[in-house]
Structure 1
């Protein structure tokens, strides 16, 4: 799916400021709904590795804490930021909490969920750590939670999106 307006949907960053994907300063972003108390939380390590590997080339991971899956992100934003920093050395932006499913889902996630995964399934976010790769033109690729951030398929997709920007 390609939607150039996707990069213009506002969200609230960790300081309370309204931002868009274009404001992040990266041509290619990997949007992830994160949680501190989930079996998949160790994916923060691979997410930070991607940030360090590709950050200087116009890439950024963007975390959106979400407490919709068995209350696995119960803390305040300050507690979440402290956890990310001290436990995983996270340097990528972690924003205000959002809902990713249901009628109260954030507008960004409403748009992202229209994108099917590799099996052709769009719709609800399955769990914490679902990943959406958005390129400079608003094209989206979707990767389900259990697919680790350093999976060769995800790395190749990031490389390809960055190569398109470099041309």
Structure 2
């Protein structure tokens, strides 16, 4: 009888959660490195996004170990919170609330402050003050964010380019 109950609960859970799964317009495999106060990770993952939301799924040895979903709230394995709270806890209290979303999508941070375009097409941002020393570059299949004062690193590389054989 207990096996029958577990089977029905599993089937119902599948149908209810299956219908609520978000479908993203872009899903790309990446090599992801995160070094923040709460996350230490370096392996493969997927970045999925559409116009309004972004999701990062992190894998170690082919097994999903963490998912960060950013929409109206930011959800991680430990629960959901506002984007502002997430940035304060996982990055730095002095960063704007959309910092992680912008990095994951390769967009300008801090309103484009300190932005420079290099001759090879890559974009750089340098942001320095008493609370942070940030270099942020993107282009050529890579996103690289480093804050030397706060020991933060977010590095995202295209998986295709790293495995290409010519």
User: Over alpha carbons, which structure has the higher Rg?
Assistant: 2
Fold shared per TM-score above 0.5: no
Q: Could you state the TM-score of these two structures normalised by the residue count of structure 1?
A: 0.26
* Relative contact order higher in (CA < 8 Å, ≥ 6 apart): 1
Normalized per residue, which structure has more strand? 2
Q: Could you state the TM-score of these two structures normalised by the residue count of structure 2?
A: 0.26
